[in-house]
Amino acid sequence: MRKPVMAGNWKMNCDSDEARELADGVVAVAGQVEAADVIVCPTAVALTTVAASVKNSKVAMGAQNLFWEADGAYTGEVSAQMLLSAGCEYVLCGHSERRGRFGTLDEADADDLAAVFGDTDATVNRKARAALAAGLKPVICCGELLAERQAGNTDEVVVAQIKAALCCISAEDCANVIFAYEPVWAIGTGEVCDGDEANRVCGLIRATIAGVLGDQVAEDMRVLYGGSVKPDNVEGLMAMEHIDGGLVGGASLKADSFGDLVKAAEASAAG
Ligand code: PEP
């Protein structure tokens, strides 16, 4: 039985005061859940503030990104060790808003500038390995673009991302890994992926993990769905065989709506 997870990705929202308020709110509505893991991922500058808020609660903290070297001349970057010492237990790796889709800034669509940070399958793997080596738990994101789905390439894209992400990661390490299927066209758009289709792709992710690391690792792996998860659609998603939780952007920015999602995750453990 896989323990459900509800993870909030606050993206580039909430200064330190707002992050404290939101984290306190999440602790109040979701801080003592037993049957689900609850994760909040604030910006890097709010990590120490949020760490104080979630201390002694069941809410864990994650970072939104990391760099794979431990220290050195990497202006603007933050290492796994630094995140750990700031109180992180988890770190997102390869969120679609960090995966590079364009060769240069000029090639980027004006509406899609978030996709210029340049993560590739190879750097996502390096980040996940660095996280594991330091004792952090990576939440590895994958998912297809709208154009890839329309071209019928969803499965090919997702399978390639999963195989690349797992390079040099052992079966033992996988106990500390979470995957998140996040179809890019469903993120922040209000357009949720149909539950059966999300479940099918999450099942494909599990089958791909089985092919690389064996059935038991795949069976134990928690696979989340992300993309416009909200209180009014979470129940149907959580009822799906291969969906073990949610990675949530917009609806994680209000303690009440995130609390509802956490309660749905908790309830799914009983069902
Ligand atoms: C996300 O940030 O990973 C996400 C899925 O965002 P949203 O829930 O707003 O679609």
Task: Write down the H helix ranges in 31-98.
Answer: 47-54, 80-85
| Tokens matching residue 135 | 């004792």
Mean of the per-residue pLDDT values of the chain: 93
242 belongs to the catalytic site: no
- Listed range (48-52, 153-157, 182-186) with the worst mean pLDDT: 182-186
6 lines ligand 1 (CB under 6 A): no
Best mutation site among 187, 252, 254, 257 for ligand 1 pocket (most ligand atoms within 8 Å of CB) = 187
Q: What is the CA radius of gyration of the chain?
A: 17
In a domain, 106, yes or no: no
In a domain, 162, yes or no: no
In a domain, 57, yes or no: yes
In a domain, 19, yes or no: yes
In a domain, 54, yes or no: yes
182 belongs to the catalytic site: yes
Burial class (CB in 10 A: 0-12, 13-18, 19+), 155: middle
In a domain, 236, yes or no: no
Q: Measured from the CA of 230, which atom of ligand 1 is nearest? A: 8
Closest protein CA for atom 1 of ligand 1: 249
Question: Distance (Å, rounded) from C-alpha 5 to C-alpha 2?
Answer: 9
| Range of the structural domain that residue 50 is part of | 7-62
List pLDDT tens digits, range 44-99: 999 999 999 999 999 999 999 999 999 999 999 999 999 999 999 999 999 988 98
Mean pLDDT, residues 164-169: 97
In a domain, 50, yes or no: yes
Mean pLDDT, residues 168-190: 94
Q: What is this structure's pTM? A: 0.95
pLDDT band at 170 (very low <50, low <70, confident <90, very high): very high
Q: Which residue has the tokens 């291969």?
A: 242
List pLDDT tens digits, range 231-242: 999 999 999 999
Question: Distance (Å, rounded) from C-alpha 42 to C-alpha 188?
Answer: 17
In a domain, 28, yes or no: yes
Residue among 97, 144, 182, 266 flagged as catalytic: 182
CA 72–ligand 1 middle distance (angstroms): 32
pLDDT band at 114 (very low <50, low <70, confident <90, very high): very low
Q: Which residue has the tokens 């990391």?
A: 66
Question: Distance (Å, rounded) from C-alpha 58 to C-alpha 113?
Answer: 35
Q: Which residue has the tokens 């479940």?
A: 199
pLDDT at 116: 65
Number of domains in the chain: 1
